[in-house]
Structure 1
């Protein structure tokens, strides 16, 4: 049975907002959902997204991308991605995830193996480890699973970016990293976790990691979907506060607040606007997720903005406020 609070049900956690007024914030996270259609067909949209972030770097504490950077895992697409994100180097900490379209034995073979050669060629450990906030990685000289630290005021954050369908041994490693940072609040970023019905991805849902070639692995290499990740990692550690993911189509969005084993809330969000999502145009029209956290008022305002269109999305699934958010580390 899943432990969950569906989006919009408990007003003590979620209050819908109807305008995009600027808000004071102590921390801003910009989420960059799946960019695959941009790199394949509309590179100018990706460039516009990243340029906007670079132009607003002083107001941004952290940038997190949810995977599927490319559509076909080709050299041409990776060159487009690297050129875009290079604008952020040294300006603002950014975290990337590996999606199913970013790995495979050859271009167009998605997650049949865990081959991420091109990802690690264009975002090499030798360069990425020197950027702000980098902490370390699971496997030597690879960026598939990595951790970062960011400090905002008195709060120290640990960010874990995990591979698509993280293996059992990766979840065990992530748990150890969390244990080594007991005074940090934790953000987990992984490509596939939430589903479009405001629940975690699990049995019976589309696009589970288990249906890809890597899903045949067993033992410590066995893959995990969203519900598996919750059971084996997220709910066990009281300081995990956020989980961000993409990957899933249908509506492309989902929000869930669950209570972990320590009695603390975990804010879990799916955002994906790529080609194939209901109503998507030009692979998503450049929509970004912006989280403004007011650490004094204990609130999180979530906005969806496209620098390509110069517009905000006002639908309550894309623009809402979480009240009574909990930002303190768990008592040790």
Structure 2
């Protein structure tokens, strides 16, 4: 621990080598390490501590008392909950409105196994059945599936609402995919991020919405309390509860590379830190995304692919890290080649420049503080497969559409990078498989502002 006069104490965890290099001094026992974060959830009385090394610990009363009884940072209206009739645990982002998402054991363990509250129902959940069917479904933060008779009785035998279809619009050949741009300006003191998601859920049937993708820079930078990730997580939670699958690409602001204020956290380690995405992966998981079928690295969502079926066609959404490692590019080629009957949409944070050209101001295999350049991706992945139809990106520019005619067919490139301080831009891709067209528009959800990129492209020859 290092102390400066008239400033708060700070601490740095030491490796064994660092400790021995300074003479192996015997550590002093203290009630707590300066720089630790003390907190509690709204769902239990446990007071937790996260030390500067990232270790979690639940405090006993004696430990808390020895620390001087510091007042914890209370995560209001948030916590962990489970239905009394199932073992699944939900991370609740809003207890009052019932918004949350199911977590796996690893995520629960990473939070040091906080005790969940048990409830019979969540606010806003639903029991329903499809018209013509006697099967009762439950939709809530922990699941969207048919329930057993015992589970239905345990919930109080609620009268299920009757729904006409689980997939409105199926059979007309038209579906919609929504694309979030950089949301880094929407994670501090604003509801714009959440408003966009709520609008999509409310308009799901009208849009025939099948999938949501985020092109990266979900947050601006990470902090000790992960405040911006809390906002982003809560903003995506309505998709979890509605059962709408989604995926997110990782931008430079979503990794350890970007420090507080938006500059490099450590300019000497930026390349290494760009691949350090621990916080992102603790908030956004494959299980939460809902349709992930494979990943480059187990337990991480930096590079994943998701699949779904719509309008008699198979679809594959491939999310790649920023300026991906060459091994990732090889893996992506294998994924696309092994799914020849899927129409592939690729999402990666950086591809088009603001003037519409493929960004190529870097070495092909050592681009900026990453690896494969956008041009390398085009030459060695996007142009090589006839079933890759769309590439989505953000990072630079505004909102524009470009196409390319390659030997493997028509490709559409959509750039959506709007760092708005006033509204919440959203791109919609309306796909017509019968006409082989994609119509797109970009607008502000809260104010309806038209960002000018409205067009319809054809000739996609969607595979079946």
TM-score range, shorter chain: 0.7 to 0.9
1:38 equivalenced with 2:186 (yes/no): yes
Show the 5 A alignment for 1:1-332: 26-39=174-187, 41-58=188-205, 59-74=208-223, 75-89=226-240, 90-104=242-256, 107-108=259-260, 109=264, 111-112=270-271, 113=273, 114-125=275-286, 127-128=287-288, 131-203=289-361, 210-212=367-369, 215=370, 223-249=371-397, 252-262=398-408, 264-274=409-419, 280-282=420-422, 285-309=423-447, 311-313=448-450, 315=452, 318-328=453-463
Root-mean-square deviation over aligned CA pairs: 2.2
Q: SS of the counterpart of 2:367?
A: helix
Report if the CA contact (8 A) 1:98-1:164 is conserved: yes
1:22-72 Cα shifts (integer Å, max 9, x gaps) = xx8611011000000111x35311011111112123320110100000001
Q: Give 1:106 shift.
A: 6.6
Paired residue secondary structure (1:61):
strand
Residue pair 2:217, 2:252 contacting (<8 A) in 1 also: yes
Distance 1:44-1:25 versus aligned 2 partners, 3 A rule: farther
Whole-Å separation in 2 of the counterparts to 1:179 and 1:239: 9
Instruction: Say whether the 8 Å CA contact 1:237–1:261 is kept in structure 2.
Output: no
**Which structure has the larger Rg?**
2
Return the alpha-carbon distance in structure 2 between the equivalents of residues 25 and 180 of structure 1. Answer: 25
Cα deviation, 1:213-268, whole Å, max 9, x if unaligned, reads xx4xxxxxxx122111101111111110000000003xx12322112332x11111
**Alpha-carbon distance between aligned partners in 1 of 2:199 and 2:192, rounded to the nearest angstrom:** 11
- Residue 124 of structure 1 deviates from its aligned partner by 3.0
1:258 and 1:237 map into 2 onto residues whose CA distance is: 13
For structure 2, the 5+ residue unaligned runs are 1-171
Long gaps (5+) in structure 1? 1-23, 216-222, 275-279
Aligned-pair distance for 1:107?
3.3
Alpha-carbon distance between aligned partners in 2 of 1:137 and 1:159, rounded to the nearest angstrom: 12
Query: TM-score scaled to structure 1, two decimals?
Result: 0.78
- Residues 36 and 70 in structure 1, CA contact (< 8 A), matched pair in contact too: yes
CA contact (8 A) 1:164 1:209 kept: no
Equivalents in 2 of 1:211, 1:170: separation in Å? 17
Change beyond 3 A, Cα 1:225–1:43: farther
1:194–1:105 CA distance, 2 compared to 1 (3 A): closer
- Give the paired residue count: 278
- Looking at structure 1, the residues matched to 180 and 456 of structure 2 have their Cα atoms a distance apart, in angstroms, of 19
